[in-house]
């Protein structure tokens, strides 16, 4: 969740994207000791990026190709919904 939020925030703002680990490699440290804070900060970053003027009318290259900003938003929202549900179920917060 954190990686995806940071990835999309950087794609939208033109910043440096977080590095995706190679198969078998440990993931990059982006959570720190406070996982909730890392999730909150990444969510704030992606919400701010999508809230910038004109973002939804632009085209962005996401991991599988170029898409309009509106499609990028739909993709991120779907990922957050699905994986947020998975995380909630896995941690016993949702049943």
Selection from 26, 71, 65, 56 nearest residue 3 by Cα: 26
pLDDT score at 26: 61
pLDDT score at 27: 63
Apex 50 CA angle, 45 and 56, nearest 5: 165
pLDDT score at 22: 73
Domain ranges for the chain, please list them.
2-90
Cβ(67)–Cβ(75) under 8 Å? yes
Distance, CA of 69 to CA of 55 (rounded, Å): 6
Q: What share of the chain is helix, strand, coil (3-state, %, to 5)?
A: 55, 10, 35
Distance, CA of 2 to CA of 91 (rounded, Å): 16
pLDDT score at 32: 80
Q: What is the mean pLDDT of each run of 10 residues along the chain (95 residues)?
A: 91 83 69 87 97 97 93 96 92 83
pLDDT score at 31: 77
């Amino acid at each position: 969740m954190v990686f995806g939020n940071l990835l999309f925030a950087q794609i939208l703002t033109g910043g440096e994207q977080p590095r995706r680990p190679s198969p078998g490699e440990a993931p990059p440290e982006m959570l720190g000791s406070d996982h909730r804070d890392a999730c909150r900060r990444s969510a704030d970053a992606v919400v701010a990026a999508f809230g910038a003027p004109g973002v939804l009318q632009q085209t962005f290259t996401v991991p599988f190709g170029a898409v309009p900003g509106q499609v990028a938003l739909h993709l991120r929202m779907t990922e957050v919904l699905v994986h947020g549900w998975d995380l909630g179920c896995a941690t016993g917060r949702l049943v």
